[in-house]
Chains A and B, each alone.
Chain A
Amino acid sequence: MAQFNQWALEYVLSDDEIAQLEIVKKAAKEIESSRASSTVVGNWAASVQQWMTPTHADDDEMEDGDEGGSGNIIARAKALGFLAGTLEALNKSILKSDQVLRLIGFFGAMFSYDHKAGITASAKALRRLYAMKAFKPDMGVKILEDVCKIKEDFRLQTAVTRLEIYELFLSLVQDPAVSSELRLKYGPSSGFVIDLLQLCQNERDPRNLMVWFSILALLLTDFDPSPEVTEEIFKVFSAYFPISLRSSATPIGITAEDLKEAVRGCFSAHQRVASHAFPFLIQKLDQGDAVTVAVKLDILKTIQACIERYENPQANVVPHLGKIWNSLKYEVRNGEVKETIDATLNVLRAIARRLDGTATNKLDVSLLSSYVDLVSRDCRDDLPNPTYTKQAGLLLMTVIGSNIRAYLLYNASFIDTIRQNLRQPKSPAHTKDLLLLLNSVLKTRIELFRDRKQGHPDDVQGLATETRAHLDMLFHDVYLPIWTTKATEPVSEERDVLKQVIQGLALLVSQPVLLADGTLALLCSASICSEICSLLTVTITKGLTLSSNDKQSEDSALEDEAVLALRTIVMNYTDGYAELAARVKAEIKKRNWVSPSEYSLNALKDLLSRFTFIGCSEIPSNIATDMPTQKQPSTLQHFITLTTNLLELFPLSSQATSSEVDTEEGPSANAHVVSSLHASIIWFRDACEAKHGKEALASPFSDDQKWLQEFQQFPEDWPSQIQHGNDGPDSLLSTSQQYGAEVYHRFLKLGLLIVRHLYRSAAFGPPGPWGERALVQLSQMAALVVRSLDEKLQVSCNLAQEAFSFFGRLEEQSVQSRLSGLLAKLLTLGILQGLRPGALEGLYTPGGEAERFMCDTSSFGRSPSRESDIRAAIGAILANKYNGKPPTSDPDSSVMKRVLDFWANWLTEAVAASSAMDPATFHAYNTIAMNVLDGAAARQDKRVLALIPTLHQAAASTHPNGKILAQSLGLIVKENPLLTPANHAHLKRFYKQWAYTHLAKPLLQAAQPAPDKDANAAARYRVAVLSVVSNCPFTVYQDDLDLLIRLLVTALSNRGGDDGNGQSNQQEEEAAWLAHVVAALEVLVEILNHEPAALKEYLREVIGGVTGVYQTCSPIAFISQGGTGSALKVQRGTARATCRSLALRVLGAIPTRFEERHVLAYSLPTQRMLAVACGDPVRKVREVARKARANWAMVVV
């Protein structure tokens, strides 16, 4: 006893929560150790006795504001807290039933006698007692009764105490045993509910409200209250509607939306409040402008929740339907706010779904039909009025489209009404709106068919037996007449109508019907589908049939719409694509493509591009037409149709025109066909990815693939064999593939077959049709196909060798390919680009193909620059994909080592004083060397490091070739579009940092200008460093800014070195200087963007240098120097303009990066110079100058 008294005293005296917790734990342990003997529990309970009496004196003192009195209350509250705390810490199963009852009695009494001190602790204790094992349901009833005795004083309690009590209530009413006890005791009159309502009706705290609303919802659902009590409950929660929440500085974790949801939960808790809820909500909605959008949305969502959750809609929803509809229809008919319109439509849709029943339990059809009648009666009259057509249609469509039964009930008469209105349209816009409605009926129909399996069997039966006469006649009765009257030269509004017609036609062809055996077929007959196809085909082939003199609208929206529609059509009516292909082919073949006009070429390009898109941008579905086709439609069918037709079309022109021969571009029409084949691969690949996901594309190929052997069995003219229905290479086209990975693999196989076919045609066929443009496309297409194959397949197809033999047969390989060196190398590049390093291993034998190509110094053909580009690209790829495994024997004998040694020797010789190699040739070969180094550097091949001293020496050489080398060093770190992860290139993450550290960093000191140094070598090093740095990201060189900035300043202040060796030399000098300055300016821009502070000490030099560069590059100087040849002139003009633009960018950025005091001194002269720059002859430079001028204008002098 004394122990408990002591603990209670300690607890009351302590203010430390942790200490208090310790005390109650001790007390709990003591009780537990005695197994809750009556004596111990009695002692424990009696330990607070000294604070419990006398109560009335306290109250009196309290009222007098006596300090001592309030102290007593606090002590008493704490003492009770001691008991509650002990209960919290106590094992739930330790107290006996009679003890629990007695404690409930004790704490319950507090609600009658001690409203000041006892409530918080008692509420806590009661909640704990409720959780005790010995708790009996009838005790719950007692708790409720006791607590309700607090009456008026409840609202005087703090929010936290009230929350405690609400939680207690919630636990009790949630408990099935307690609630059944309550029902038993009170019956339907639910007297305790009235007490509760009176107790809690004035609650305003959001947290408490959340619990209170849950209690109210439970009272409605679980306690079967009498109508009077129901009304009382409704009054309590409806008084809060619409609820809002004042924003508070201290967020409590409850949002206004939570409160709205909770009130909504009360409204929709049980259908017994339906008769109160609907009139109440509708009356709120009908207040007109007084209701804000947010409140309107709340009301509409609440109505929707009620409709969805009330059971027995016939009794609870139907009686209110008229009122709901009358009120809601205006929200759509005259509404302007999208959110409210959407919410209203959701309510209307919910009603239709509710009246239809569920998938397992259908309601009587009369309910739904009378609702649809109600809606359609009002909307039908609005359809002829253009102002309301759209809204009326929206209302009707929402109701009809909400379920299959509603659709079947009314779609025929709706379509009939639309048709009648279309006969007498008030305006083109009206026609458009009506067509839009018709189209949405068709779209809804497709969606209902798609979702039919989730519905009731009756619904599916209904779909199978629906009448289709009204749908069958749509084409001839509605779409075709409008199309024929408006299709010739439509004006703007009519184009909108036609767009709707086109969309409608696509939807019409896509309409399914359910056959008796449960399969789907197309609604339209093959003849109608075919007619629709040809109507739309005319729209897209029209461009080719017209001439450039025909007046044509710039706007291609109608054609684009037709393209999309055709794509949808041929996905369903699969025969349509073959028809389209035949039409397109015939139209193209009608023309002579030997020397076509630009207009014709553009028309051809558009047509082929659209033709490709229609067939390959989506994978066809498997819906059958009503005509039994000979073959099961295949997912690859359109792709095959497209590619075989294109291959048959090729070549459109067998020889190039004279201008095309000059440029080696080749016949453009042929290039367009190859481009389309390339596009078809891209489109189909993307379609596969979209439909089957990335995983399907990455799935491995099966092991036993012998594609090349299979291909060799095919006849040469396999495209036309397939075209003419001969099965030909049927193994390839067997059409059962449905699985993503399988479809994709078949597609790649076909892709490789096409690539092989074209490679053979280019390499061994007549050279006339092939030009550079077509071969570039073919090469890129080959790269795309090859890189999608896995290594095993690349090896088994022997692609590494085929890159050089172009899929030639043995007897052909002995014959030299008829293509020129450049064009043949384009083909090689295509395959090599996509190969994985493992598949290339066979090429790296000493003296093998790889070495030959990497060390290619054979002479160039007609276009050295292009040829060096290609050789360089091949060199870079081969050097990069070199496996680099250390050879078992002598490491010095590795191919890479030999290649690098070769170039080291070559460079040393080419820049030796005695070298007679002219700069142009050196430039071309040097590009190859640098690209080989680029490829090797990208995988951080250590053998490259051995070559670097040679590079540095060669760059410093006095020979002019040394300068070319210095300028080209940047190529080693330049972004190479061929070396990408997609192309399976081997790219080390920090290779640029690595290359910079070894290649440029050692030169930074040597490149600084100093009187005691070799000026030529320093200048060359500067060129080399800037060439490298300008191709690196800022982070690579940010540690060397100080040295680098000095180089930049020197680069900017040195004007172009005029050797004066004739005009051409002067021009080359200028080009080199411009490249050097552009590199310097690019680095400056980067520094200004990332670390401008580094430039602070050099501002005078930078501004002076940049201004000088602008003036040196001025267009006036350019004009006075003159230039030969327009192309060269344009090139030089562009280089100078780029330089000026960059100079102005640097200048313009300076005042924004530095404080005014640093730039003030330069403001006036710079502003004068920029004012002049605003008159630059190049528009883009003027724009930069204006921005720079505005920035400098901010610097107040």
Chain B
Amino acid sequence: MERDLDNANPTILSVSQLPSRTRKGAATRNGPDSKCHDIVYPQHHWPYGCSSSSDEGEDYREEPMDEQDIYDLISTISDPEHPHTLGQLSVVRLPDIHLSPSPTELSGPDSLVTVLVELTPTINHCSLATVIGLAVRCRLEQTLPPNYRVDVRMKVGSHAQDDQVNKQLGDKERVAAALENDTLQRMVDKMLETCA
């Protein structure tokens, strides 16, 4: 079933260009002379016994969910047309993810948080915008805790029929009905296969 692609030549970012969480510790240099750095310049200088600290403290810091977390969840979804991810195609962009209230203002662990994701289709008449929106919605609903409300929209002006698409994506019943459709469900599953 060959059909013409909606956008045959999208702009593709390489994985290294995508926004990612840069850790403080990741700045350690890795030059030709760094082979024995772990031994002579260890992160924690006390190597003996139980009081030797490990890196776990770093990894187990309490950090509330932020926009980058949401981005990491959905940027790896595959595009239904191209062998690239939504992040690489800039359909999902970090500045277009909004959390309210923002992570720093959270009053408690159970307080209600709304996640608004604005998608930017690669062309403004993209016929698969709804499917992409549906996949993003599914992914977030499968991975976020119950106190998070998900709102997926087309970015204003990015799609010729953004009103209609937004209406479809915002309507819970229509979303549920769409996922009853085997073909659509398979398509969404295929898109989510690349998510870790």
Spell out A's residues near B (CB within 8 Å).
Answer: 554, 556, 559-560, 563-564, 605-606, 609-610, 612-614, 617, 665, 671-672, 675-676, 678-679, 682-683, 772-773, 776-777, 780, 829, 865-866, 868-870, 872-873, 927, 977-978, 1115-1116, 1130-1131, 1133-1134, 1137-1138, 1141, 1171-1175, 1177-1182, 1186, 1189-1190, 1193
Contact = CB atoms under 8 A, between A and B. Distances in A.
B39 A678 contact: yes
B3 interface: no
B32 A1178 contact: no
Nearest to B57: A1134
Given A613-B33, A1190-B142, A873 B60 contact: no
Given A556-B29, A866-B51, A1193-B142, A1177 B46 contact: no
A295 to B, nearest CB: 30
B33 A610 contact: yes
B41 A675 contact: yes
Given A780-B47, A829-B48, A1115-B109, 17 more contacts: A559-B31, A563-B31, A609-B37, A676-B40, A780-B39, A869-B48, A870-B48, A927-B49, A1133-B62, A1137-B60, A1138-B56, A1175-B148, A1177-B63, A1179-B69, A1180-B59, A1182-B65, A1190-B142
B52 interface: yes
Given A776-B47, A873-B49, A1190-B142, A679 B63 contact: no
Contact of A1186 (B31, B32, B40, B143): B143
Contacts of A780: 39, 47
B143 A612 contact: no
Interface residues of B, number: 38
Interface of B: 27, 29, 31-37, 39-41, 45-52, 56-57, 59-65, 69, 109, 142-148
A1166 to B, nearest CB: 14
A1134 B56 contact: yes
Nearest to B45: A773
Given A872-B49, A1180-B59, A1175 B109 contact: yes
Contact of B50 (A672, A683, A865, A977): A865
A1177 B64 contact: yes
A679 B39 CA distance: 8
Contact of A1138 (B29, B48, B60, B142): B60
Contact of B60 (A683, A777, A1134, A1174): A1134
A1006 B52 CA distance: 34
28 contacts: A559-B31, A560-B32, A563-B33, A564-B32, A605-B41, A606-B29, A609-B33, A609-B37, A609-B40, A617-B32, A679-B39, A679-B40, A682-B39, A773-B45, A780-B47, A866-B49, A869-B49, A870-B48, A872-B49, A873-B49, A927-B49, A977-B47, A1137-B62, A1177-B109, A1179-B63, A1180-B59, A1182-B65, A1193-B142
B56 A1116 contact: no
Nearest to A771: B45
Nearest to A1118: B62
Nearest to A1190: B142
B1 to A, nearest CB: 29
Given A563-B32, A605-B41, A1171 B56 contact: no
Contacts of A671: 45
Contacts of A978: 48
A1175 B147 contact: yes
Nearest to B56: A1134
Contacts of B36: 679, 682-683
A772 B145 contact: no
Which residue, of B32, B63, B144, has the highest number of chain A Cβ atoms within 10 A?
Answer: B32
A868 B62 contact: no
Nearest to A780: B39
Which residue, of B33, B109, B143, B145, has the highest number of chain A Cβ atoms within 10 A?
Answer: B33
A776 B146 contact: no
Residues of A contacting B: mostly: helix
A1178 B62 contact: yes
B149 to A, nearest CB: 13
A776 B60 contact: no
A776 B46 contact: yes
Contacts of B39: 678-679, 682, 780
A772 B65 CA distance: 39
A813 B123 CA distance: 83
A1134 B53 CA distance: 11
Nearest to A1180: B59
The 6 closest A-B pairs by CB, nearest first: A869-B49, A1175-B145, A613-B33, A1137-B60, A675-B40, A1177-B62
Contacts of A672: 41
A180 B144 CA distance: 89
A1134 B59 CA distance: 9
Contacts of A1130: 57
Contacts of B63: 1177-1179
Which residue, of B45, B56, B61, has the highest number of chain A Cβ atoms within 10 A?
Answer: B45
A1107 to B, nearest CB: 16
B141 to A, nearest CB: 10
B104 to A, nearest CB: 13
Contacts of B145: 1171-1175
A646 B16 CA distance: 40
A605 B64 CA distance: 35
Contacts of B48: 829, 866, 869-870, 872-873, 978
A412 to B, nearest CB: 34
Contacts of A614: 33
B151 to A, nearest CB: 17
Nearest to B33: A613
Contacts of A1172: 145-146
B112 to A, nearest CB: 11
A869 B52 CA distance: 9
Given A560-B32, A682-B40, A773-B45, A1178 B60 contact: yes
A1175 to B, nearest CB: 3
A1130 B62 CA distance: 9
Contacts of A1115: 62, 109
A1193 B192 CA distance: 14
A870 B48 CA distance: 7
Contacts of B27: 554
A102 B40 CA distance: 89
A682 B50 CA distance: 26
Contacts of A1134: 56-57, 60
